[in-house]
Amino acid sequence: MRIRNKDLLDKFVKKHADSKKAMQTFIEFIEEAEWQNFNDMKVDFNSVDYVSNERYVFNIRGNKYRIIAIIIFVGGVISIRFVGTHAEYSKIDAKQI
């Protein structure tokens, strides 16, 4: 998969240094993935949830952090829309990001 808006992850890591290893692992894993559908993704990320409108929520570092992304399986693209703490996530409407 190709990651769009990877700069959001980089900015987040600068603000939350303890997320660095988890984000690096996430990026490496995503870039190696060849998902064709949600079921393929669930095999690799059991905790990923579909929220609607092609948006998926990934729990990172034991659910301390969350990533919302749009995934276009046919094109092999994941577009990062939000990266934040669990508390920041609870204040937003994931369906609208």
- The string of pLDDT tens digits covering residues 22-71 is 999 999 999 999 999 999 999 988 889 998 888 999 999 888 899 999 99
Q: Where are the domains of the chain?
A: 2-89
Helices (H), the chain: 6-15, 20-32, 38-44, 86-89
pTM above 0.75, yes or no: yes
In 3D, which of 90, 84, 94, 73 has the Cα closest to residue 23? 84
- The string of pLDDT tens digits covering residues 53-66 is 889 999 998 888 99
Tell me the CATH architecture of domain 2-89.
Answer: 2-Layer Sandwich (3.30)
